[in-house]
């Protein structure tokens, strides 16, 4: 029997909110709204310092981090290791987000972080995405390279732990002069990503969930989930509003009937 891939709605809170109190309220409010959710996996990735408190609020809300440094302990001022995050009860870790790449993170850095995260027991959410698109369609090569380098040396045995999130930078809510991506844009790239993953991992690639992220809100989530060719969504801005984020989760659940 074919394995059913569970859809996932994942919040990327970025460097928000300002206080632990607000963070706890947000998770508590989401938790109250999702008591009937059974088929959809829900993850929230807050800033590091909220992880420990938030993970205890609801069994239905899985906690993820937004970065991880390779290794366990050592002389790396300011860093938080994959092993520390795992031991704290963190499951997911967003890696290679465009906002970290903008600070200088390379595909090789992301590759090291993915390897360390898997070795520590974390489930990486690898973000890929192009800054711009043009007529030459060169962005396909960029995504191919991101996948190739970031997943280099990862074995087929780890595919069930990996998620790939397609996040076109031009569609992210905070990008100046941003424009909307469509479900067609998402589907086209999801097919391309799955083809590349299949070329690398063979049929084990079907275990890798592919997500879309970039200004998804409670109004557009249904279209991306229904027509975007993806197994879930990575949500930034809209995930900081408990009502909007819960509506996105409920939309996913309703489509999963």
Residues that bind ligand PEP (CB under 6 A): 12, 167, 172-173, 213-216, 234-237
Has 137 been annotated as catalytic?
no
**Which of residues 10 and 34 has its CB atom nearest to ligand PEP in the complex?**
10
* C-alpha–C-alpha distance, residues 218 and 148, integer Å: 33
Is 97 catalytic? The answer is yes
- Rounded to a whole number of angstroms, the distance between the first and last alpha carbons of the chain is 19
- Nearer of residues 132 and 173 to ligand PEP, judged by Cβ: 173
Residue sitting closest to ligand PEP (CB): 236
What is the spatial distance between Cα 33 and Cα 89, in angstroms, rounded to a whole number? 23
User: Of the two residues 13 and 201, which places its CB atom closer to ligand PEP in the complex?
Assistant: 13
Q: Residue 188 CB: number of other CB atoms within 10 A?
A: 15
Please report how close the Cβ of residue 238 comes to ligand PEP at its closest, in angstroms.
6
Residues 88 and 118: beta-carbon distance below 8 Å: no
Chain centroid to Cα 49, Å, comes to 19
DSSP 3-state percent helix, strand, coil across the chain (nearest 5): 45, 15, 40
Smaller CB separation from ligand PEP, 124 or 214: 214
Catalytic residue chosen out of the listed positions 41, 83, 130, 167: 167
CB of 253 to ligand PEP, least distance (A): 20
Beta bridge partners of 44: 11, 63
The one catalytic residue among 97, 99, 130, 218: 97
* CB 167, min distance to ligand PEP, A: 5
Distance between CA atoms of residues 170 and 105, nearest Å: 19
Give the residue numbers annotated as catalytic, written as ranges. 97, 167
């Amino acid at each position: 029997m074919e394995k059913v891939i569970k859809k996932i709605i994942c919040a990327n809170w970025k460097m928000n909110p300002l206080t632990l109190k607000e963070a706890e309220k947000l998770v508590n409010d989401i938790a109250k709204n999702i008591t009937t959710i059974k088929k959809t996996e829900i993850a929230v990735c807050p800033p590091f310092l909220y992880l420990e408190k938030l993970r205890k609020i609801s069994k239905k809300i899985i906690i993820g981090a937004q970065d991880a440094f390779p290794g366990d302990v050592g002389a790396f001022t300011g860093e938080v290791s994959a092993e520390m995050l795992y031991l704290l009860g963190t499951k997911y870790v967003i890696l290679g987000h465009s906002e970290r790449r903008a600070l200088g993170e390379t595909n090789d850095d992301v590759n090291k972080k993915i390897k360390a995260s898997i070795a520590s027991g974390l489930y990486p959410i690898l973000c890929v995405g192009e800054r711009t698109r043009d007529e030459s369609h060169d962005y396909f090569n960029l995504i191919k390279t991101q996948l190739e380098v970031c997943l280099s040396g990862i074995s087929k045995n780890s595919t069930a732990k990996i998620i790939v999130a397609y996040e076109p930078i031009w569609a992210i809510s905070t990008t100046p002069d941003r424009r909307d991506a469509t479900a067609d844009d998402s589907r086209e790239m999801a097919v391309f990503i799955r083809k590349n993953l299949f070329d690398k991992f063979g049929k084990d690639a079907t275990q890798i969930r592919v997500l879309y992220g970039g200004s998804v809100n409670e109004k557009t989530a249904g279209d991306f989930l229904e027509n975007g060719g993806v197994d879930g969504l990575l949500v930034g801005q809209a995930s900081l509003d408990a009502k909007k984020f819960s509506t996105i989760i409920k939309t996913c659940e309703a489509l999963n009937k």
